[in-house]
Amino acid sequence: MEKGIAPWWLRIKFRVLVFGIFMSILPLLLIGYATFNTVSHNLKENIQKQNLERANVIADQVETSIRNIAEDLHHLTSANDASLIGNITSERERILNILLQQEPYLEEIKVANQNFDVLGQVSRREVLLQSPAENKLNSVMIDKDKPYTVSFVSFSKDRRPEFYVTVSIHNPQTREQIGYLQAKADLKGLINKFTNTRIGNAGYVYFIDESGNLIAHTDFSRVLRQEDLTENPAVRSFLTNQTEPNEYKNSDGNDVIGLYARVGTPNWAVFIEQPVIEAYEPIYSFTRKLFGILLLTMLGVTLLSIVFGLKLVHPIEELESQVRKITVTGDLLSHIMQISKDEIGRLAHSFKQLMTMLDEKNQNIKAEKELLRTVVDGIGAGMVLLNSQRKIIWWNPTFAEWFGDRNYTNSSCEEVYNGEENLDCLCMENGRVVSFDLNGEKKHLRNMYYHIPPENSEHAEYLVLLEDVTQSVEMEARVIETDKMAAIGLLASGIAHEINNPLAIVSAHNEDLLDSLNGEPEKVSIDEIKEVLEIISQQIVRCKHITDGLLHFARKRNNEYSLLDISLVSSKTIDLIEYRAQQRNISITRRLQSELFVMGNENELQQVILNLMSNAIDATDDYETVEVETWGDHEEIYLQIKDNGKGISQSNIKKVFNPFFTTKPPGQGTGLGLFVSYGIIQRMNGRLNLDSTEGKGTTVIIDLPSYKVG
């Protein structure tokens, strides 16, 4: 796949085609589905309604036929009651034969008196050999309360179904019952015309009596076999008076549409069953036609959607081709042809305007880039970019001028910084000043680094900036030395006085010993000489201790940092200045915790404490107290110097850290003490806070990071 080109399934052309086809086909499918459901539902209802009407018609016709037979029998008995019950056998047989000829569905007719004794009978198929008197009617088949009675269906020896219709014979004058006329009907002949009713090509009609016996069927062989249909769902619903099913499996295991209608009298039911596949053939035919129409319609709509989609997308593809050509050539002023005047044409025109604007922006960016390069190259600071592995990926000319003009790619800071051990530009405190010997000249560079957001073309993560602060550092060093010399000058008179005291003691004892040796040497014992020499030795040690403290403070300052016990440094510094406090009867209270370690330069920290103590003593009245306290925890260490002297006014408290500002009388202060102290504490990553109230005193608290030995 060409870079920058989306796969075919994500392109506008494909989505337009899919949308067009989908929106064209979906309504057709919904309409077709709704039409199919409506039509199929109506067709099913019509098929079931039609078959139900047929069943009802057949049931009515069967009931009518049986009723007509009964009425014909009743009319015969009404007109020939005397002849039928009389003793003239020939007349009775003639009347019965006439009736037998008139009713084609009757097989046999019998006449009986009121005691059910058969008086005469005729048969269509059988030769009657037995005497009529030996035959009796079955009284079970007779209901005296009804004008006629239809018996249960029975089966002959050849398994043909048959039933009996019995009517009463009454005396026309007295209306008394005098006998019975009973006719045996051929059920097959009576119902045959109904069972042969055409129900499609595979449908059929059958009858079931109240006992569930199959008494008639389109396939009469089933009747002869006396097939049991009581498990048929429709037959079961008829026998149990339940709701009849519409579709079910018949006894042959075929899916059929079945229904029934009750005959009434007798209590039979006519059933019509038709295979589902045949009954619903109109629905299937309609479905095939409907889907054929839908398929042709969808094919036409799809072709139209494809043509319309291609025509719609073609201008977009043309515009894409022109823009891709501009991307490859980089010619932002390349001509973009306006294909049409519609929205796509206006889009092409907007692209053309955008390219013009981008070209202008590009020219401006190039100019700004050149300006930025000029500024970066001439700013006088070294710059490097580091990647995520802290390797150099870019540097400016100033950096190359300082550390040598060579390829620094994939080099680390410690590899470049003249082999300085463990000097990683990202591990030092941000803003730390580092000294280098560059091109035979000692320079002081402030190391600063900044995190760069990862969304950049160079994949840089850090910018390291090296600022040349040599002049500032040297100036600061001279200021510190100046302040130190001023402090030494202030200490000088007191130290001289401190040295004069032990020297006076040494001189007095020395003169006394010489006088004794010159006058009466024999009286001077060795023990007296040793005692005088021990006193002289103690005073000499005292002088040495004073001069050692002064020399340690006055020695040349270096830039090395080490772990310092702030309480020990404070104690040594207090020893240097304590003589000044004693001269004015000012007591110094020390509350110093042990093993409070900070990282710094001992000489510089001693100078800070000396400046703060000198200010406190100068501000304190005679016979007062200056408090010095140290404490700390795992993170911070604090040094507090507190006096109850004159304090500083609110108008001056904001100026106390300015160089050469002092509230002391002329000749008693340089105005550099707090300025220098503040700078030293800042380099130690600490804070110097001053709180003063005029007339109540001043409290200075130094807050430094805590370190552990080792």
CATH number for the domain harbouring residue 679 = 3.30.565.10
Per-residue pLDDT at 552 exceeds 80: no
Least confident of 161-175, 353-367, 428-442: 428-442
Kindly report the CATH number assigned to the domain that includes residue 165: 3.30.450.20
Bigger pLDDT: 188 vs 146: 188
Mean pLDDT of 12-37: 76
Place 638 in a pLDDT band, splitting at 50, 70 and 90: very high
Mean pLDDT of 50-79: 88
Residue 684: how many other CB atoms lie within 10 Å: 22
Entry field: residues in the chain: 710
For the chain, the distance separating the N- and C-terminal CA atoms, rounded to the nearest angstrom, is: 61
Bigger pLDDT: 213 vs 674: 213
Per-residue pLDDT at 358 exceeds 70: yes
Place 433 in a pLDDT band, splitting at 50, 70 and 90: confident
Identify the CA nearest to 561 among candidates 608, 529, 602, 516.
602
Regarding whether 575 and 499 lie in a shared domain, the answer is yes
Per-residue pLDDT at 201 exceeds 90: no
What pLDDT is stored for residue 418 in this prediction? Answer: 57
Inside any domain, residue 137: yes
CB 18 within 8 A of CB 299: no
d(CA 24, CA 300): 10
The SS3 of residue 257 is: strand
Identify the CA nearest to 664 among candidates 589, 588, 611, 603.
611
CB under 8 Å to 191, separation ≥6 — which residues?
62, 207, 215, 216
Question: Residue 379: beta bridge partners?
Answer: none
Task: Quote the tokens at residue 114.
Answer: 């009121």
What pLDDT is stored for residue 428 in this prediction? Answer: 57
Per-residue pLDDT at 347 exceeds 70: yes
Regarding whether 168 and 205 lie in a shared domain, the answer is no
CB under 8 Å to 664, separation ≥6 — which residues?
618
Regarding whether 567 and 458 lie in a shared domain, the answer is no
Bigger pLDDT: 686 vs 400: 686
Percent of the residues in the chain that have a pLDDT greater than 90, as a whole number = 4
Mean pLDDT of 3-24: 68
d(CA 697, CA 687): 20
Regarding whether 171 and 110 lie in a shared domain, the answer is yes
Place 550 in a pLDDT band, splitting at 50, 70 and 90: low
The SS3 of residue 298 is: helix
What pLDDT is stored for residue 126 in this prediction? Answer: 67
What pLDDT is stored for residue 359 in this prediction? Answer: 78
Inside any domain, residue 369: no
d(CA 250, CA 256): 7
Place 1 in a pLDDT band, splitting at 50, 70 and 90: very low
Bigger pLDDT: 551 vs 156: 156
Give the pLDDT confidence of 161-171 residue by residue, as tens digits.
Answer: 988 898 888 88
Mean pLDDT of 528-537: 69
Per-residue pLDDT at 305 exceeds 50: yes
Least confident of 132-146, 526-540, 573-587, 636-650: 132-146
Regarding whether 532 and 403 lie in a shared domain, the answer is no
Last residue of a domain, one of 276, 304, 324: 276
Place 421 in a pLDDT band, splitting at 50, 70 and 90: very low
* Residue owning tokens 């009858």: 207
CB 551 within 8 A of CB 488: no
- Residue 447's φ and ψ, nearest 5 degrees, are -90, 120
Mean pLDDT of 266-280: 88
Per-residue pLDDT at 617 exceeds 70: yes
Inside any domain, residue 148: yes
Per-residue pLDDT at 207 exceeds 90: yes
Per-residue pLDDT at 422 exceeds 60: no
Residue 219: how many other CB atoms lie within 10 Å: 12
Regarding whether 498 and 459 lie in a shared domain, the answer is no
Task: Quote the tokens at residue 63.
Answer: 């009931």
Place 269 in a pLDDT band, splitting at 50, 70 and 90: very high
The SS3 of residue 665 is: coil
Per-residue pLDDT at 2 exceeds 60: no
Task: Quote the tokens at residue 542.
Answer: 């005292």
The answer to whether the peptide bond before residue 502 is cis (omega within 30 degrees of 0) is: no
Report the run of H or E that residue 632 belongs to, with start and end.
Answer: strand 625-632
What pLDDT is stored for residue 18 in this prediction? Answer: 77
Alpha helical stretches, state H, 164-280: 187-195, 220-224, 233-240, 276-279
- Residue 231's φ and ψ, nearest 5 degrees, are -85, -5
Q: Which long-range contacts (CB under 8 A, 24 or more apart) does 120-124 make?
A: 120/84, 120/89, 120/92, 120/93, 120/96, 121/96, 122/93, 122/96, 122/97, 124/100
Mean pLDDT of 452-463: 75
Instruction: Characterize the bridge pairing of strands 148-150 and 154-155.
Output: unpaired
Mean pLDDT of 645-659: 73
Inside any domain, residue 202: yes
CB under 8 Å to 135, separation ≥6 — which residues?
110, 118, 121
Task: Quote the tokens at residue 234.
Answer: 């429709």
Mean pLDDT of 110-119: 86
Regarding whether 514 and 413 lie in a shared domain, the answer is no
Report the run of H or E that residue 113 belongs to, with start and end.
Answer: strand 106-113
What pLDDT is stored for residue 208 in this prediction? Answer: 92
Number of domains forming the structure of the chain = 4
Mean pLDDT of 198-224: 89
What pLDDT is stored for residue 135 in this prediction? Answer: 75
Place 130 in a pLDDT band, splitting at 50, 70 and 90: very low
Regarding whether 526 and 400 lie in a shared domain, the answer is no
CB 336 within 8 A of CB 323: yes
Residue 682: how many other CB atoms lie within 10 Å: 12
Per-residue pLDDT at 279 exceeds 70: yes
136 DSSP assignment: B
d(CA 56, CA 272): 10
Inside any domain, residue 562: yes
Place 72 in a pLDDT band, splitting at 50, 70 and 90: confident
- Residue 52's φ and ψ, nearest 5 degrees, are -65, -40
CB 463 within 8 A of CB 448: no
Residue-range definition of the domain harbouring residue 123: 80-189
Mean pLDDT of 52-68: 89
Regarding whether 464 and 512 lie in a shared domain, the answer is no
Residue 56: how many other CB atoms lie within 10 Å: 15
d(CA 109, CA 116): 14
Inter-CA distances, 181 with 12, 88, 546, Å = 94, 16, 166
Inside any domain, residue 548: yes
Inside any domain, residue 365: no
Per-residue pLDDT at 133 exceeds 70: no
Per-residue pLDDT at 152 exceeds 90: no
d(CA 628, CA 700): 10
What pLDDT is stored for residue 322 in this prediction? Answer: 73
What pLDDT is stored for residue 383 in this prediction? Answer: 77
Regarding whether 412 and 537 lie in a shared domain, the answer is no
Mean pLDDT of 504-520: 66
Percent of the residues in the chain that have a pLDDT greater than 70, as a whole number = 75
Place 420 in a pLDDT band, splitting at 50, 70 and 90: very low
Bigger pLDDT: 255 vs 468: 255
Inter-CA distances, 66 with 212, 260, 263, Å = 20, 19, 10
d(CA 40, CA 279): 12
CB 237 within 8 A of CB 243: yes
Last residue of a domain, one of 435, 468, 501: 468
Inside any domain, residue 25: no
The SS3 of residue 165 is: strand
Bigger pLDDT: 453 vs 710: 453
Least confident of 207-211, 248-252, 455-459, 667-671: 667-671
What pLDDT is stored for residue 485 in this prediction? Answer: 59
Regarding whether 515 and 460 lie in a shared domain, the answer is no
Last residue of a domain, one of 141, 168, 189: 189
d(CA 285, CA 537): 137
What pLDDT is stored for residue 131 in this prediction? Answer: 47
The strand ranges marked E within 187-287 are 204-208, 214-217, 247-249, 255-262, 269-275
Give the pLDDT confidence of 686-710 residue by residue, as tens digits.
Answer: 888 888 888 888 888 989 998 877 5
Per-residue pLDDT at 406 exceeds 60: yes
CB under 8 Å to 406, separation ≥6 — which residues?
400
Bigger pLDDT: 679 vs 212: 212
Per-residue pLDDT at 583 exceeds 60: yes
Per-residue pLDDT at 541 exceeds 70: no
What pLDDT is stored for residue 206 in this prediction? Answer: 92
What pLDDT is stored for residue 657 in this prediction? Answer: 66
Place 134 in a pLDDT band, splitting at 50, 70 and 90: low
Regarding whether 614 and 493 lie in a shared domain, the answer is yes
